Structure 1
Amino acid sequence: MYPVCVGHEIVGRVVRVGSQVKDLKVGDLVGVGAQNDSCLSRKGYCEDCEAGYEQYCRHLVTTYNGVYINGGKSYGGYASYHRSPAHFAIKIPDGLPPEVAAPMMCGGITVYSPLRNYGCGPGKKVGIIGVGGLGHFAIMFAKALGANRVVAISRRSNKREDALKLGADEYIATDEDKGWVAENTRTLDLLVLTVSSSKACHSSVLYHRMNRPY
């Protein structure tokens, strides 16, 4: 649709609230991610929304180039104003700068969700494959969730220093560290793959050897 302003990692101040909004008020700093709405069972029972899986709703609305249930359109985060159901607006904690919070609305939640859902925490050893836009969040979140050991994995060693600064305890450069597979077989409880390159995908079998089977 035209004019689409794209933008799916949005942070801004609330300037108006609907009559049924309870947890947000004018002036609050909030964030909105790539999903802007779902049916939320407003047109009858929705198995996905009722189970808390709004991302699978057949009436999912994206933050840009989407159409709301009432026919309104979503124009993206670079528009002057953005309209969002309160259910999909996340209140940003005091003291967290908007420019820091915004990337967490998409890249951040993409890796936080599997870490949290699959039990990252004290006693766990976690591997993060890829130290880029998603991987750097994954390293920080794994450490913040209390993982005993966080291993950053990349093809070359040029990101070693950055990964260790982000909180990684160890670093593996798969193209340079000889014997890394044998040395790390069955040493991890959880492995998060954040890369899409063909070389990384071809190495996925080797990566999975690092995971413990139970």
Structure 2
Amino acid sequence: MVDPKRKRERMVREQIEARGITDPRVLAAMRAVPRHRFVQEALADHAYEDRPQPIGLGQTISQPHVVALMTSELEVEEGMRVLEIGTGSGYQAAVLAEMGAEVCTVERLRQLYMDARKRLQDLRYFRVRLKLDDGTMGWPSEGPFDRILVTAGGPEVPEPLLEQLADPGIMLIPVGSSRRSQTLVKVRKEDGKVRKENRGAVAFVDLVGEHGW
């Protein structure tokens, strides 16, 4: 296997910077997190390619550009409290933690939750706390959150997540009336008002739960 650090540098240069993402903190985090540790061992050599990778149970780790795009759109500052819905492999949570965020992440599938917890502990991402639960309900006891990132697509913005979003605060969520085809919606809450912005077409796995599919 080629040196992972060199692969990460090439990934950032060719897949992320080349597509207009310039936030230096996002780029530094993407350079730092060992993405090959977050995919199945048999796929480690392909971890830095420009495509999503399966992580089991019908779930995926998003392609690097999508992770960088969503992280950039979230406008995370050091010390912010971030709620992530859909832990998956734990990669997105690690990127957020690398940027200095305090991350609470919720996963509904036990095996993914167990694997991600061990992986994040082994890599010493102690800023990340995990919960096994219905992510569409959020994590009420830990809210409100400065930022909320949903890494699965649902038919609408779950009301519990809106309630747990701080004011001011930003949420990023894929929303669509059909599965696997959504619009990335940026939700801003400020002075008691909620504003939604369309940030382009995306395709994510299903957001499953009481307020999802």
Report which of the two has the higher share of strand: 2
TM-score (norm 2): 0.44
Greater C-alpha Rg = 1
